[in-house]
Amino acid sequence: MAKKIAFIGPLPPPVGGVALANIRAQEIVQRLAPEHEIITLDNSKKSINADLYKRKGLSEMGHFIKNIGKFLGFIFKNRIAVANVFVVPNISFVREAVYILLLKLKPGQLVVHLHAKTSGDLFLSGFKLKLFTKIVGLGDVVFVLSEKHHRQFYAKYIKPEKLVVLENFVTYSDFDNQISQKEHKFLYVGRLSEKKGFKTLVEAVALAKNELSGLTIEVLGAFENAAFEQEMNQMIQDHQLSQFRFHGPQMGQEKFEQFKRCSVFVFPSYFENSPIVLKEAIAAKMAILSSDIQENQNLLEDFDNKVLFKAQDAEDLSKKLINCFKDKTSINAMMLASEKIKNYDVTEAERIIANSLDLDS
């Protein structure tokens, strides 16, 4: 008998890691069990400019109430066999906690996709962490993003047998290319914000603009807010920087082509989880120039495809940019190292989802 498989969480826009994970999990379930019906409840605000860190006001309360109303209609209208809820530990968890508590009262499998860091967010310390994990632990299955970082941390609070590692995954075939045909260009993909390190990147280029003459950095993403956009544009203008080419947020083939074409992926973020863009860069056979935060090191430490720089240190990034721009031999070696890494292909995610979700008819 056909079942209804629900996915409750954000969908683009904005083009964020959780929204992409939601889409890709749906695609896997559709391939694994085409006889079942996939239904979705999108709780994104649909804003291209995703300002995640501003103060929350009455408009946010209105969005919360609207989402809860939509959710109640959604679960009462549909007989859900498997509910997938996407959770992050910022203020939106107040909403997702309501989802989980109400779904627990209904029959069916409850699956929580936990896209959470281990520190630095609202619900990740003290009593709030215990409350957060108590509610998340109500899931029959709780997907976490890595074995040696996330699973080890959350196993202290959630029954270990419920925790299943499901890395953010990539369809490698989308990024397939020939290294010999790549251009010596750099690529930045993600939200344009201070925490994602974009200001550090602009500062680093400004410090070394003469040595980086001729460098092209393709930039894919939306500014987090108008004030930050104005600040960055002013900085670029003041220093007369010609290295940046802005394309706005991109998805699908447009994005894939940028990954295929460029040779170096620049990732200056200092607030991450298990960043899917690093896995996309690996799938695209790129050399990686990344900040040295623990989350990035956890993902990259076993591979010889990267250069790390000190997070939020524009001077260190500047030096590493110069080295990567001038030393094409090392860049080629790192691209060849990425070509050998197959850990994050969708085939592994399909196996894990098939074993974890109740998809039998």
pLDDT value at 158 more than 60 = yes
- In the chain, the percentage of residues whose pLDDT exceeds 90 is 81
Longest CA pairwise span in the chain (Å): 66
pLDDT (average), residues 187-198: 96
CA-based end-to-end distance of the chain: 5
**Quick one: tokens of 355?**
């074993």
- DSSP label at 360? -
pLDDT, position 58: 55
pLDDT, position 57: 53
Query: For 22-68, what is each residue's pLDDT tens digit?
Result: 999 999 999 999 999 999 999 887 765 544 445 555 556 777 888 99
The secondary structure of 300-352 as a DSSP string is HTT-SSEEEE-TT-HHHHHHHHHHHHH-HHHHHHHHHHHHT--TTBHHHHHHH
- DSSP label at 221? S
Query: For 280-291, what is each residue's pLDDT tens digit?
Result: 999 999 999 999
Output 58 or 72, whichever has higher pLDDT: 72
Question: How far apart (Å, rounded) are the C-alpha atoms in residues 21 and 322?
Answer: 34
- Quickly count: other Cβ atoms within 10 Å of residue 76's Cβ: 10
Question: How far apart (Å, rounded) are the C-alpha atoms in residues 237 and 248?
Answer: 18
Query: For 117-135, what is each residue's pLDDT tens digit?
Result: 888 889 999 999 999 999 9
CA distance to 47, 150, 213, 283, 345, per residue, from 168 (Å): 23, 12, 36, 12, 9
pLDDT, position 61: 76
pLDDT band at residue 20 using 50, 70 and 90 as cut-offs:
confident
Question: How far apart (Å, rounded) are the C-alpha atoms in residues 234 and 230?
Answer: 6
Stretch (H or E) spanning 104:
helix 93-104
Question: How far apart (Å, rounded) are the C-alpha atoms in residues 241 and 202?
Answer: 9
Q: Return the SS3 of 27.
A: helix
**Mean of pLDDT over the chain:** 93
pLDDT (average), residues 246-269: 96
pLDDT band at residue 148 using 50, 70 and 90 as cut-offs:
confident
Question: How far apart (Å, rounded) are the C-alpha atoms in residues 123 and 117?
Answer: 10
- In the chain, the percentage of residues whose pLDDT exceeds 70 is 96
**Quick one: tokens of 44?**
């994104």
> Residue 256 corresponds to which amino acid?
F
pLDDT, position 53: 45
